[in-house]
Amino acid sequence: MGKWFVAGHDLIATDALRAVEDLRLPLRLMSLGFGPDRSVVQMAAALTGWVPCPGCACVGTSAAHTCAVGAPVDDRPPAASEPGLEQTPGPVPPGPVAAPLAESGAAQGRLLPGADDPTWEAVPLHLRQQLRGPAHDLVSPARGPLAARENRTLLSAVRAASRMRMTGAHWIVLLTADRKSFGSPRSQRAELLYEVLEQVAVEQALRAGKATS
């Protein structure tokens, strides 16, 4: 116990296992007869009382959903479709929106893409790999400022960076966090992580600028 992996290979094994698990979902759906011509979401709406949210594109139980735009969730079951009747298309999800200039952190004074912008997926692999090592060290275990209750959102983002599974929201949290939130001025791990974040901030600001020009 505790000697199963060469240093760093446990993270690779974790990502590999997650990739294998992700592949199983489409196979399970296909084995049950769901696919492009038979929606599992529509089946859930018909049989279990799932409802569409009038304020966004979500479909699910109203109790488990809080609409991002503050619209009330309609608890009425969806109307059954009938032959010959046209169905009104649901609301269109909002497109990517650029965030205002960052007021703090590695991206201070720079324009960043919005959290839902697809350019976050284009952050170069070598930068994500450089971020992974110091991020893993900072959360194994979390100490200092990262262990503070008020920094739980930042801690979650650093953990996502250690697994190289960051979303746009994670990136924005990381890029707008103060340097001192990652660790003391003498922490080499925090300094390494922050230097990589500064490089990411430059590249993403360039992408955001091109998108708005």
Task: Tell me the average confidence (pLDDT) per consecutive run of 10 residues in the chain, 213 residues long.
Answer: 65 74 71 77 73 66 52 46 44 48 88 86 90 93 91 94 92 94 92 94 76 57
Does some domain include residue 38? yes
Residue 50 near residue 44 (C-beta atoms within 8 A): yes
- C-alpha–C-alpha distance, residues 180 and 193, integer Å: 12
Same domain for 123 and 204, yes or no, is: yes
Residue 101 located in a structural domain: no
Q: What share of the chain is helix, strand, coil (3-state, %, to 5)?
A: 50, 5, 45
Give domain status of residue 155, yes or no: yes
Domain that holds residue 149: 118-212
Report if residue 180 sits inside a domain.
Answer: yes
- Position 82 in a domain: no
* Claim to verify: residue 124 and residue 208 sit in the same structural domain: yes
Q: What pLDDT is recorded for position 23? A: 63
Long-range CB pairs of 95-104 (<8 Å, 24+ gap) are 96/211, 98/208, 98/211, 98/212, 99/172, 99/208, 102/175, 102/176, 102/201, 103/176, 104/176, 104/177, 104/178
Structure tokens at 169: 């929201």
Please check whether residue 73 lies inside any domain of the structure. no
Q: Is residue 174 in some structural domain? A: yes
What CA–CA distance (Å, rounded) separates 136 from 151? 16
- The whole model's pTM is what? 0.54
Asked if residue 41 belongs to a domain, the reply is: yes
Q: Both tokens of residue 118?
A: 């697809």
Q: Are 127 and 206 part of one and the same domain?
A: yes
Domain count, the chain: 2
What is d(CA 204, CA 58) in angstroms, rounded to the nearest whole number? 28
